[in-house]
Amino acid sequence: MSDFLFLLPLSLLMGLLALGAFFWSLKSKQYDDLDGSAERILHSDDKPIL
């Protein structure tokens, strides 16, 4: 029973941290241009290494 009293608040804290990280990523506009980011990797401006 004492393990339950330790793990329950720990799991709630980890869930709140994950939720906070998700809302932070929404606020910092991480999900705005998904298509542009996917295509940007294909069109590199780097010169080829000889």
Write down the pLDDT at residue 48.
65
pLDDT digits (tens, 9 = 90+) for 2-28: 888 999 999 999 999 999 999 999 999
Write down the pLDDT at residue 31.
82
33/41 Cα distance (integer angstroms): 13
17/6 Cα distance (integer angstroms): 17
| Residue found under tokens 């980011």 | 37
CB 4 within 8 A of CB 10: no
The pTM of the full predicted model, rounded to 2 decimals, is: 0.62
CB 31 within 8 A of CB 25: yes
